[in-house]
Each structure stands twice: as C-alpha cells, then as structure tokens.
Chain A
Amino acid sequence: MNFFLTIILDGLIQASWLFIVALGLTLVFGVLKILNIAHGSFYALGAYIAATAVTMVAARGLPPSVGFVAMLLSVALIASAVGLLLERGLLKMFYGRNEVVLLLVTYAVFLILEDVTKLIWGVNPIYATQPYELFGNLEFAGLYYVGYDLVLIPISAVVGLAIWFGLNRTVIGKIVLAVIHNEEMSVSMGVRVNRVYAIAFAFGVLLAALAGALTAPKISMQPGLSSDVIILSFAIVVIGGLGSVEGAAVGAILVGLARAASVHLMPQAELFMIYLIMAAVLMFRPEGLFKRETARRI
C-alpha cells in the first residue's frame, strides 16, 4: 500500500510544476493559436530570476521566507513585462501569417533567450536553495519528503483553479473564451482582440516563469534547462488537448504518475512510458482528451 502511495505522491509532485508550465502553453495556444516553442525559455527565465532574487535576499541576511516571497514577486513583475513586450513588439507583427511562420518566430525567440540567459547569468550552474528548507520535512508512507515539494501540489491546484475560475466565471474570462471560440464574431461584438492577445500571452509567460521560480530552489540552473521542459509540456498538452485547462491538469497528472510508476517499477522505460501514453491518446482521441472536436469553418 505504502508503495503505491509513494508512486502517487511522487507523481503528483512531478505533475504540480509541470501543470503550471503546461497551463501557460495551452492558454497561449488556445487564445493566440501559437505553438510557443519559446515557452521553456520563459520557464528558465523564471528560474534564473528567482535564483537572483533569493541570492540577493540571502546576501542581506533576511530569512528564506522573504526570499520565497521576493522570488515570486520579482518573477511576476519581470515575466509579465517580458511577455507584454514580446507580444506587442514582435508577435503582433506576424498575426494573420501562416502558423508555421509564428512557430519559427517563437523558435527564434527561444534561441535568443537561450543566449540572453547565458549572457546575463553565465554558463555555470546557479543555486538558490534557501527556500527549499522553508517547510521542513514530513514523513509519509514510510519516507521523508521535503515540505517544499509537497507545498507545490496545493500551489498548483490553486493556480489551476484560479485560471479556471477566471476564464469561466468572470467577464474578462468570458471575453477570452469568446475570442478562443470565434475571433471574428468577438471583433464584431466590439471585443478588443489585440488586448486579449497581449493579456493572454503575458499570462502564459507568467505561468511558465512561475513554474520556473517554484522549481528553482531544488534544482541547479544551467543552460539547457528550457529544452527538457518544453518537450514534456508539449506531451502534456497533446495528451490533454491543446487549449484545454482541464486537459493540462489531467495530462500533467498522467505524465507525472506514468513517470513515477516507471521509475519505481521499470526504470528503463521511464521516458518511453510518457510517449506511450501520448501515442495511445492520439490513437483514440487525436484532438487530445479534453479538446472538443469542432466543425471546420469554410
């Protein structure tokens, strides 16, 4: 019994931060119809900014709790600004073009951000471990878990619920949903679509950066961080259905549990298991688990 509880808990911890990254990716795709290759770079950017904030706070002798708050605030501010700047300054120039062009533009942004992070933070691993000790350790199913890892689960649940509530129960959310479902009709009803695009993209960047910030205290930040994350995030949104919040949640949980189960039961199949699930879903539900099939407009 304890063994299965361990798998579930490990899977949920893994799913927690992956869900936040995938949520940003699926939001941007849902609204802007962009497969954002640079999404992993925003995750890395968030991690680096968080590490800088934590290090600065620690250097002033302040407690880790202040570092935790500082890293979240700094990431929120900088990531939102970067998101708005990129959408207004670059992406909007390519709206209406072929989707492949936008894909290539985000790929270019990915390459640029990779080098920008190297330029600012260098190539050596960076650590910001102080907040990792903030919540102590807990014993569960016969094993010790770091409290910080466990706290990530409710944080991601709150973030997911907030996004779902914002989209489905607020006026702004309903406007965003209207743009997702029918952009032309939204324009004819007086919706400022460009503003919705900017807000959605900034939110997407913010979510990726937030996930980066939350994982920063337990990892070593180094070049290459972004590419692994983007591959897993794509797998999650493909499983859940591009543009679906519920899909991102279920996809993240499936990926997290599959990975945890294979590490415990069949370590050699760890990566294969994730893509096996993706292939199985695509075979029976090519649109993903939660994406509704839509009639093609002519």
Chain B
Amino acid sequence: MDRSWRTNCAIILATIATTSFTLAAPLSAQETFKLGIVTFLSGPAADSFGVPARNGAQFVIDQLNKGSVPSPYEKVGFGGMKIEPVIIDENGGATKQVQELRNLYQRDNVDVVLGYISSGDCLAVAPIAEELKKMLVLMDCGTPRIFEEAKYNYVFRTAAHAAMDNVGLVRYMKAKNVKMDTLSAINQDYAWGQDSRADFVAAAQQLYPNVKVQTDLLPKFGAGQYGTEISALVGAGSDVVYSSLWGGDLQAFVLQSVPRGLSKRSQLVLSAADHVLPPLGDKMPDGTIIGARGAYGLMSQKSPLNDWLFKGYEAANGVYPVQAAYRITQSILGLKAAVEKAMSKNGGKKPSTDEMVAAMTGLEWPSPGGLIQMKLADGHQAIQPIAISRTKYNPDLKRVELVDIQYFAAECVNPPPGVKSIDWIKGGMQGAKCN
C-alpha cells in the first residue's frame, strides 16, 4: 500500500515536473519556422533573378538547418527552430501575387513571407500584408516608392533601393574621370526602369552639371529586339549610354548592340548587369561600367561569411552567386537575427509576429555583401554598401572578370532618413558620408 502510494506520488510528481518543464522549455524539438518564399521560378525574370534566388534560399536554409553557417549565425535554423520553406512562383502578375500572399498566410499558415523581385509585385503585396497584420520581408525589388509613398508596420525591405545603384554609378564615373557631356538612356517602361532612369539622370545632373540628355528610350518590358533603338543610340553618339535593362532584355540588347559599334562609340553604363556576365561571356564588351545592386558576386569583399556563400553556392550550383542569391541570403540572415533577438527578449519562445516586427525594426546585421542597416522608413528600409567596376574578359578562364572595383559606403550612396531619394539627389545629395 505504502509502496503503491509512493509510486503514485512519484508518477504524479514526474508528470507535474514534465509538464512544468514542457511549459518552461523554450521550444519543443519539433517546433519549426514556416517560411513562405516568393521568387520567379518561370518567366523572363526566372533565369537571371528568380532561380538564383531560389537556389540561394535553398542553400542558406540547408546550411542553417544543419548549423553550418559561420558566426554569428551558427545556431541551428531560427533560434533552434528548423526552417520549413514553402516556395511559390512569382510569375503571373500582381493580381495573382496578392492572392498567393493571402494563401500563404491564411491557408499555409506561414510565419513570415520573404521574397519578391518585381517592383510591381512589391507595390501590390505590401498593403495586403499590412491589412492582414502579417510580417512581410521584401528581399529585392528596387523601386524607392514602396516606403516613400506609404508607411508600413509589418513590411520590411532588407536591400537598398535603386537610388543607391544610380548614385553609386555616377560617383564612380566622377571618381574615374569618365567624360559625360552627353547622355543617352534606354530603360524598360515600368516602375524599375522609370525610377532608375530618373535617379541616374538626376544624379548625373548633380555631379556633371553641364550634361545634356540626348536620346531617352523606354521600350516595353520584354521587347527583345532593339535594332531601331540601337540605331537611335548610335546615331546620337552620346559620351555615355545608361541602361537599367536586366535579364533576357539586357542580354539581347548587348548581343545586338555590340556588332553595331555602340560600345565603341559610347561608354556603356549598366546598373544591374552582374547576372548576365556568365551567360554572355566574351560577348560583353570590355570596359563596360557595371553595378550589381550591392557589393556582390565578383565584386564582393573577402570575409568568412562571403567565402561561405560564394564557395558553397558555387559548389552546389556549378556557377558563382550573383546579386539575387546574395539578396535573398542577406534577407534570410536578417530574419534569423530578428527572430533570435525577439526570442532573447521573450524567454526563448517562438516569437509572435509583433515581437518579430519589433525586433526587425532598425536592426543591423552582417551579411556576405556587407553590413545591412534598417535605417530608412522608420527602421523598415535597408541601406547597404555598393561596389561598381568595369568588365574585362579573361580568355584563359573563359569568363568576364571585374576590374577597377570601387566600394562606396552605405551612407555615401543612400539618402538619409526622412528624405525622398529623388529629392535628396536633386538637392545635391546633402549629408552623404563618402569617406
């Protein structure tokens, strides 16, 4: 009887202890973090951006789940929670993406959605996340309008917007004494192309006050054939031809313009061209000034984090990582930092959306492309350093190399908080810290 009573007491105590331990324990072994990832898996943007971003996400999530990422990200997954990705195709237009975002939050019950490459998609989905009070991390899209024309609490962008690319290009040209008395431009006729064009022209007018804009072309996205445009650009004979074309459009433009002597007559300046260097190879003319929307890929600086990404991605995919892979990596690492910061404040529990939002606001974290700082839009928009360089084909390695690389600090090429980027540029880029 005594023994039985004692046994029962022991069972009850053990049960209470186990229950208490479970309640007090930060996470169960099976707790996961469900992460919606949206990137182009098909369509014109898939090859240049979407698939490298998907490959980058898979590599980083695999490494995080194994606990193989260098310091300060060595902890498994997000704060010990394994990451469970749900990958969605961004192709199909903004209306489809709005529905897909609702599905991710409401049907798939993801904890956070991270992704988006198209500026149009970013502009469309941001208000939906805000309406649903769910956390959305935009990882790539370039238009400055997202936070300059609206205010969001649940939305973040972990990469700098297009103003940085264009200010960086013009600063580079000035530093390298590139002549620009006359300028022509060719950009796609949608948010990215138009915003990039406006930023570049405005920055050029600040640092080259006498610059004259000659031919200014805005072909539609996916035009593919640029014979007439090239005639107009070659005919204008400007000192500089600027373009923010990307992907298949940029490749077609380069393939069609080089035999017609455009690169010999004008200095080509391309704001986002790193991703077309592997497929174009020797077709890319030497001396072209290019940006990569950050200090990425062949322009990235040596660090344990960058070595880990560059070598690991190359080994996994047979090609070195370009901007999209870097941007999704910095986005996932930023989210990890935010989740773990929130967990450190709530006793190690899986954080709520509001806890993650509070942790992400104004956050800073190291990434393979440099330090990311959420400094703009009340801590919701990132700034980061950028690198600009020139192309040079290496026939021995049979690949384009980047030479004459110059790095610009984040606060040299990004506007300060509270100022619209175009106003900042037109106002002479006051407060820029370039030393």
Chain A residues in the interface with B (C-beta under 8 A)? 3, 6, 9-11, 13-14, 118, 123-125, 127, 129, 132-133, 137, 142-146, 149, 215, 218-220, 222-225, 228, 259-260, 263-264, 267-268, 270-271
Q: Choose one: A123, A133, A143, A219; the contact of B224 (CB below 8 Å).
A: A219
Q: Choose one: A222, A267, A268; the contact of B44 (CB below 8 Å).
A: A222
In the complex, are the beta carbons of A263 and B229 less than 8 A apart?
Answer: yes
Residues of B near A264 (CB, < 8 A) are: 228, 231-232, 235
Q: How far is the CA of A228 from the CA of B231 in the complex (A)?
A: 22
Which parts of B52-101 form the interface with A (CB within 8 Å)?
none
Interface centre among B47, B219, B227 (most CB of A within 10 A): B227
Residues of B near A145 (CB, < 8 A) are: 260
Q: How far is the CB of A148 from chain B (nearest CB, A)?
A: 9
Q: How far is the CB of A288 from chain B (nearest CB, A)?
A: 25
Residues of A near B224 (CB, < 8 A) are: 219-220, 225, 228
* CB contact under 8 A between A267 and B216, given known A133-B259, A224-B44: yes
* CB contact under 8 A between A132 and B255, given known A10-B227, A127-B279: yes
Q: Choose one: B228, B249, B261; the contact of A263 (CB below 8 Å).
A: B228
Residues of A near B51 (CB, < 8 A) are: 124
Residues of A near B216 (CB, < 8 A) are: 267
Residue B287, interface by CB 8 Å:
no
For residue B219, which residue of chain A has the nearest CB?
A270
Interface size class of B (residues with CB under 8 A): 35 or more
What would 16 more interface pairs be, CB under 8 Å, given A13-B228, A127-B279, A144-B261? A14-B228, A127-B251, A129-B255, A142-B235, A143-B234, A143-B260, A146-B260, A218-B225, A219-B224, A220-B248, A223-B43, A228-B224, A263-B232, A264-B228, A264-B231, A270-B219
Residues of B near A13 (CB, < 8 A) are: 227-228
Q: What are 5 A-B residue pairs whose CB atoms fall within 8 Å in the complex? A: A14-B228, A228-B223, A263-B228, A264-B228, A268-B218
Report how many A-B pairs have Cβ atoms within 8 Å: 101
Residue B217, interface by CB 8 Å:
yes
Residues of B near A3 (CB, < 8 A) are: 235
In the complex, are the beta carbons of A127 and B260 less than 8 A apart?
Answer: no
Q: How far is the CB of A16 from chain B (nearest CB, A)?
A: 10
In the complex, are the beta carbons of B256 and A218 less than 8 A apart?
Answer: yes
Residues of A near B217 (CB, < 8 A) are: 263, 267
Residue B201, interface by CB 8 Å:
no
Q: Which 8 A-B pairs have the closest CB atoms?
A: A124-B47, A220-B248, A125-B248, A10-B228, A123-B42, A263-B228, A144-B261, A260-B228
Residue B110, interface by CB 8 Å:
no
Q: How far is the CA of A71 from the CA of B247 in the complex (A)?
A: 25
Residues of B near A260 (CB, < 8 A) are: 228, 231
Residues of B near A127 (CB, < 8 A) are: 251, 255, 279
Interface centre among B216, B222, B247 (most CB of A within 10 A): B222
Q: How far is the CA of A137 from the CA of B365 in the complex (A)?
A: 52
Q: How far is the CA of A124 from the CA of B45 in the complex (A)?
A: 9
In the complex, are the beta carbons of B259 and A144 less than 8 A apart?
Answer: yes
Residues of A near B248 (CB, < 8 A) are: 125, 220, 222
In the complex, are the beta carbons of B260 and A137 less than 8 A apart?
Answer: yes
Q: How far is the CB of B178 from chain A (nearest CB, A)?
A: 23
Residues of B near A143 (CB, < 8 A) are: 231, 234-235, 260
Q: Choose one: B215, B235, B252, B261; the contact of A220 (CB below 8 Å).
A: B252
For residue A139, which residue of chain B has the nearest CB?
B261
In the complex, are the beta carbons of B256 and A6 less than 8 A apart?
Answer: no
Q: How far is the CA of A53 from the CA of B69 in the complex (A)?
A: 44
Residues of A near B302 (CB, < 8 A) are: none
